Amino acid sequence: MDNRPIGIFDSGVGGLAVVKYIKKLLPNEDIVYLGDTARVPYGTRSRNIIEKYSIQDIKFLLSKSVKFVIAACGTASSILYGGYENNFSFHYSGIIKPTCDIAIKLSIKKKIGIIGTSATIKINKYQEYIKKYDKNINIYSQDCPLFVPLIENRFIEPRNKITSLMVEKYLEDMRGKIDTLILGCTHYPIIKSHIEDYFGKDINIVDSGFETAKFVENYLKKNNMNNYTKKIGEVFYYITDDKDSFGKTGSIFLDEDIFKNISVIDLDIF
């Protein structure tokens, strides 16, 4: 057993989806969450910058003695996938592998759509993973750079007209072509209802946050790394800009007041 907390990071509020699922699947675990809100979004930035930010995020989490690091961010996961993560000396998961494994299982027609930030789609790691598994799977990918700003600014209520139009704009080339869609950014499940409305019920939508939480649940169990000392774990939130916006969106999303557990930190020293 291992009583240390699980570390989770994202550029902003998207990774809170993973927090939500981990709390449900592993209620006894403590969590240290880092949202790099002063530098959100990551997905419109270049490879070098995202690499630098992601490594700083991880160093911060390791300074908090976490037992497992989750990159709960499609963009950071893509940057770290392969080369970087193979050399990590700590327990780690991004969202690429858990998400793709499920999508591959679900896609009967071997036609998978992938949506993500511009960086994620450009770096191409989801696509590489799936092609390596089965080169006969057809992949349709599309970057959706405005989804994260829309979500961070709470254009999220069901049937919001602007969000629906944005979904149509980004996804129209995929409609009718795929049977499975990967939400390759942890922000996107927050507007899942808009995506379902657009596609109808006839496709599988794979939520990268949920699949990653499931993967971590199995990993801890298999490696005897669970925390058995607590019934209800605590969550400590660290962010890099002020508490107001993150606290509001996070409290709505997690359905509890998280303000008291938020600390503001400076990542420049990491």
Site residues (CB under 8 A) for its own copies?
38-39, 44-49, 145-146, 149-150, 152-153, 155, 161-162, 165-166, 169, 240-242, 244-245, 268
Convert 181-193 to b/e letters by CB count within 10 Å (16 or more is b).
bbbbbbbbbbbeb
| Spatial contact of 74 and 188, defined as CB atoms under 8 Å apart | no
For residue 234, the minimal CB distance to its own copies (Å) is: 25
Looking at beta carbons only, is 39 or 125 nearer to its own copies?
39
Q: Within the chain, where are the H helices?
A: 16-25, 47-63, 74-80, 83-86, 96-106, 118-123, 125-133, 147-152, 161-171, 192-199, 208-222, 243-254
Looking at beta carbons only, is 168 or 257 nearer to its own copies?
168
Convert 131-159 to b/e letters by CB count within 10 Å (16 or more is b).
eeeeeebebbbbbbebbbebbbeebbeee
73 has catalytic annotation: yes
How far is residue 163's CA from residue 168's CA, in Å, rounded to a whole number? 9
Looking at beta carbons only, is 120 or 240 nearer to its own copies?
240
Looking at beta carbons only, is 206 or 239 nearer to its own copies?
239
For residue 214, the minimal CB distance to its own copies (Å) is: 32
Helix (H) or strand (E) segment spanning residue 10: strand 6-10
| Spatial contact of 185 and 43, defined as CB atoms under 8 Å apart | yes
Task: Say how many C-beta atoms besides its own lie within 10 A of residue 52's C-beta.
Answer: 14
100 has catalytic annotation: no
For residue 38, the minimal CB distance to its own copies (Å) is: 5
Q: Name the catalytic one among 26, 73, 103, 144.
A: 73
The 3-state DSSP class for residue 182 equals strand
| Spatial contact of 250 and 40, defined as CB atoms under 8 Å apart | no
- What residue type is assigned to position 144 of the chain? C
Looking at beta carbons only, is 137 or 195 nearer to its own copies?
195
Q: Name the catalytic one among 79, 185, 220, 258.
A: 185
Q: Sign of the C-alpha dihedral, residues 14, 79, 68, 240?
A: negative
How far is residue 221's CA from residue 1's CA, in Å, rounded to a whole number? 9
Looking at beta carbons only, is 63 or 153 nearer to its own copies?
153
Active site residues: 73, 185
